[in-house]
Amino acid sequence: MSATEPEARQGAEPRTMQAGAKIVVRDVRKTFPTKKEDVNVLDGVDLTVREGEFLAIVGPSGCGKSTLLNCMAGFERITSGSIRIDSEEIERPSPKRVFVFQETGIFPWYSVWDNIGFGLGKMPFDKKHEIVMRYIALVGLEGFEKAFPAELSGGMKQRVEFARALAVEPDVLFLDEPFGALDAFTRLEMRREIVRIWKETGKTCILVTHDVEEAVELADRVAVMTRRPARIHSVLDNPLERPRDSDQPVFRELKDQIFEILGVERRV
Ligand SMILES: Nc1ncnc2c1ncn2[C@@H]1O[C@H](COP(=O)(O)OP(=O)(O)OP(=O)(O)O)[C@@H](O)[C@H]1O
Ligand SMILES: [Mg+2]
C-alpha cells in the first residue's frame, strides 16, 4: 500500500506509465459562474486513470466529485487544463463513455428488454436481440426480459441500469454513487456484481462514492479529493486480492489512511 502525490506534482511521468493511461487529467480547473459570484469547484486536478483499472474517487461532501466525473465524460466543459481519453482531448459526451447514476434512470413504461435495447438505436431485430439477451444474461436477469420496472426489486432495477449502460459497449464506465439508493443487503450484493461484471468485460471503471469501505472493497486505487476548491490529495494503491474481507489488517489500514486524509475523526 502506498500513497502517492498526484503524478504531475512529481514532475513528468515516465513513458511506461503514460503508455497504460486511459484518461489523463491535467491541472483541471472548473468554475461555475453564478449571479452572486463564481463558484470555484476544481482547482488544479491531476489524475491518471489506467486502462482497465477500477478507480474509486472519494472526497468530502460537495467537494466536486460529480463535477469531475461530468468533466471526464464530456458533459461539463472545463474552465482550464486538459482531459484526454486515449490521447484525445474531451470536448463532448460520447457513447464510448457511459454513466450509471444513483437514481435509476430506466424508463418505467418500457420492459427490461426495451430498456436495455434503448441505447442501441436502429439495427436489425436479430442483432439487437442477441446483444440485449447477452447483457440480460451478464447481469443475471434471465427470464425477466418482458418484466416492467415496477415488477422489479431495487437491485434488479440497478442490474437493468448496468446492462443498459454496458450494451452500448462503452470503454469507460462512470459510476456516480450507483448503490446509494439500495438497501444495505442489496448494496453488498451489487458491489460483488459490479466487480464480477468489471472483470468479465475488462472496462475501465471510475466509481465516485462517499463510502470509504466501498471504495476499498472495490477499487484497485483510491483517489482522495480535498475540500472545495478541490484537487486530488493522494492516490492510494490497494494491493488486496479480491474478494476482499473488511477484517483484513491491510483493509483496515487503508480505510484509516483515507479517513485520516479526509480529516474525519472516528470513534471506535
Ligand atoms: N451547475 C452548477 N452551477 C453552480 N454550481 C454548481 C453546479 N454544479 C455543481 N455546483 C457546485 O459545485 C460544487 C460541487 O458539486 P458536486 O455535485 O460536484 O459535488 P459532489 O462532491 O459530487 O457532492 P456530493 O458529495 O453531494 O455528491 C457544489 O458546491 C455545487 O453547489
Ligand atoms: Mg455527487
Report the separation in Å between the CA atom of 235 and the middle of ligand 2, taken as the mean of its atom positions: 19
Which residues have a Cβ under 8 Å from the Cβ of 246 and sit 6 or more positions away?
213, 216, 217, 252, 255
193 in any annotated domain: no
Instruction: Say which amino acid occupies 66.
Output: S
72 in any annotated domain: yes
Nearest-CA residue for ligand 1 atom 26 is 62
Is 34 a pocket residue for ligand 1 (Cβ < 6 Å)? yes
Q: Look at residue 5 in the predicted model and tell me its pLDDT.
A: 47
239 in any annotated domain: yes
Ligand nearest to the CA of 57: 1
State how far Cα 14 lies from the chain centre.
26
Q: Look at residue 230 in the predicted model and tell me its pLDDT.
A: 95
The torsion angles phi and psi of 10, rounded to 5 degrees, stand at: -95, 10
Say how many C-beta atoms besides its own lie within 10 A of residue 230's C-beta.
23
178 in any annotated domain: no
Q: Look at residue 190 in the predicted model and tell me its pLDDT.
A: 86
Rg (CA), the chain: 19
Report the separation in Å between the CA atom of 54 and the middle of ligand 2, taken as the mean of its atom positions: 18
Nearest-CA residue for ligand 1 atom 3 is 32
CA distance 143 to 125: 19
Nearest-CA residue for ligand 1 atom 17 is 66
24 in any annotated domain: yes
Q: Is the peptide bond before 229 cis (omega within 30 degrees of 0)?
A: yes
225 in any annotated domain: yes
Q: Look at residue 130 in the predicted model and tell me its pLDDT.
A: 96
Nearest-CA residue for ligand 1 atom 16 is 64
Q: How many domains does the chain have?
A: 1
Report the separation in Å between the CA atom of 8 and the middle of ligand 2, taken as the mean of its atom positions: 25
Residue among 65, 79, 99 whose CB has most ligand 1 atoms within 8 A, to mutate = 65
Is 70 a pocket residue for ligand 1 (Cβ < 6 Å)? no
Domain housing 256? 19-96+206-263
Q: 3-state class of 79 per DSSP?
A: coil
Low-confidence spans in the chain with pLDDT less than 50? 1, 5, 7-17, 265-268
55 in any annotated domain: yes
Q: Which atom of ligand 1 is nearest to the CA of 61?
A: 25
Q: Look at residue 20 in the predicted model and tell me its pLDDT.
A: 87
Q: Look at residue 212 in the predicted model and tell me its pLDDT.
A: 95
CATH of the domain at 66: 3.40.50.300
Ligand nearest to the CA of 30: 1
143 in any annotated domain: no
